[in-house]
Amino acid sequence: MKNIVLFSSVFAVLTVPTLARADYFVWQDSRTGLTASFPDTWAIQNNQTSHDILTVALPSGDDRAVCKISAVPDARFLIYPNRFRSDIQQIHFSKDFWYEQTAKYQNIKVHNFTDGAGLGKAFASTAVITYVTPPDEVPEQRAALVSGGQYYDQTYTVECSSIAASYGTYADAFQSFVKSIDMKKAYHALGVGNYRNFLRDWGTLEVQMPNAVSKTIY
């Protein structure tokens, strides 16, 4: 899979008369069109599962701060009008969704949970969770900012985590990364999402009744 990495520069003037430069990557997934941006000091890593589309490691040493984005094909809700997207999130992508997503972890606790959040163009839920890594990994107490929801034909999840004791050091960077995420537009901004009236298109339908005298008109 080929992904697109664009390059941008942000300049900031410090209190001293010098100019500091911070460079950012704008990354795009070739399959879904999702984009995300992050500093050039973050390193792109190998993805761990077939559903992961981006994994990046922050410069964090033993704190092992990392963010990953996953995209799972999900066409369950394409039949529903656009106006129901918020309801779909609250039913299918709320707190229970995160217990399912994090089932591989141990001692999971969900903190600061929010429904109706945004993840790019998706209606999403967001939380901070703490957990212990799975039994087949080196035991670590970690904390993570997680966000997830469904947009068009994909379910997207983001997890940014570090050693729990150091989470506060990376919280702002995690939030900036999650806020940078966006999806390729799939819905018209002014669409009401109503179904087309097929019977109106067909016109009047007359049905001859069994008594050969009466007719029913639809």
207 located within any domain: no
Count of CA atoms in the C-beta half-sphere (13 A) of 204: 5
Predicted TM-score (pTM) of the model is 0.77
200 located within any domain: no
33 located within any domain: no
* Exposed / middle / buried, residue 118 (Cβ in 10 Å: 0-12, 13-18, 19+): middle
Q: What would the pLDDT profile of 81-135 be if each residue is shown by its tens digit?
A: 888 999 999 999 999 999 899 999 999 999 899 999 999 999 999 999 999 998 8
User: Can you give the residue range of the structural domain that contains 134?
Assistant: 47-194
Beta bridge partners of 27: 5, 36
The whole-number pLDDT of residue 208 equals 60
Q: How far apart are the C-alpha atoms of 90 and 116, rounded to whole Å?
A: 7
Count of CA atoms in the C-beta half-sphere (13 A) of 163: 10
Asked if pLDDT for residue 6 goes beyond 60, the answer is: no
Q: Is 176 helix (H, G, I), strand (E, B) or coil?
A: helix
CATH classification at residue 141: 3.40.1000.10
Q: Which residue has the higher pLDDT, 24 or 54?
A: 54
Which pair of structure tokens corresponds to residue 177? 């990364």
Residue type, position 110, single letter: V
